[in-house]
Structure 1
Amino acid sequence: MHLTELNLVDLLAAFRSPDPTPGGGSASALAGAVGASLLAMVAGLPKSRAATEEDVERLAAAASRCADASARLAALVDRDAEAYDMVVSAFRKPKGTDGEKAARQQAIQEAMTVATGTPLAVMRACGDAIEQAAVVAAFGNRNAASDLQVGLELLGAGLRGARSNVDINVGSLKDATYAEHAGREAERLTTEATTEIAAARAALERS
């Protein structure tokens, strides 16, 4: 059964179990999914402060994009666990002969590449939702300001958690080109998200 098909009690039990997965990567994706859903909810509330038809359309677009980001992040909850299971499986491969050692190393590198790309996808999805936050803060229902703030905090936590996984995993990659690309993209996504979060908070203070 997929993690996202569990009820909340069973999901929390899975997180506190001694099994290798789910772990921090899945938790980061889950935090981002909830955060993006909160932003979508606020953007879709009636009695918004959108004064023009253009503002109404911007708010509706923000709601749609946040809902899309939430769906992607929900899928990444399971995908991250699957990626780490690949890593564990690769490390458990036999290494008695030179051929087995070579096959094991190849499997490890392939698994680590997937395990690096998955948290990058979490960062991208969190960033896509965070990018909508300033619009939601400016035009969304003022009574839901705290929901927006919580959503931002969860998205920020999801992005930072995923960033930590990227940083750890690139250290195990032998493909220096991909490792550099992944590290550079993670840094860019972090910088952009920090700017967008600050803009959303400023918009909230003005509202």
Structure 2
Amino acid sequence: MKLYIKYMVSLRCKMFVKDELKKLGIDFISVDLGVVEIKGDITAKQREALSANLKNSGLELLDDKKNVLVEKIKSVIIEMVQNKNESPIVNDSNYISEKLGYDYNYLSNTFSEVKGTTIQNYIIQHKIERVKELLLYDELTLTEIAWQLQYSSVAHLSNQFKKVTGLTPTYFKELKEKREQNFESVQ
């Protein structure tokens, strides 16, 4: 049996869910972003307790089929963006469609209906968050980040970054460095 969980986007979320399942005596096979595979069935009481515990920590157990599908789409996008340099260079829509086994138009319409935004805008938001993260790590050049996230050029990445954040990637990085200098001077 599979359970679907909304807002589950990090390793910390996965660890929290595992702990909650263990506390409630629910045997599970795997815990991945947005989905938990459990052994057998769970009682109504266990489901209710799990739902309440998840809700208290900002997560949500899903029942509605459209919401479940949207969470699956979001999980695929998060995985795709986080591991972009490991995935083959394919069109995002084809990748999502193949990964979930649904026609992309159906996925796109369902996502837009539930989230009020397009899949493409959601991908862009997550790619820009990943760019910020990589800029803060300061291990890659902007050219390497553009290549890793499969942007057609540094200019394309920069334009999209500025459109979303209002800042250029270079200025974003400079702000980080200024903050670090200010922090060091205070100590």
> TM-score higher than 0.5 here?
no
Greater relative contact order (Cα < 8 A, sep 6+) = 1
> Which one has the bigger helix percentage?
1
TM-score between the two structures when normalised by the length of structure 2? 0.31
> Which one has the bigger strand percentage?
2
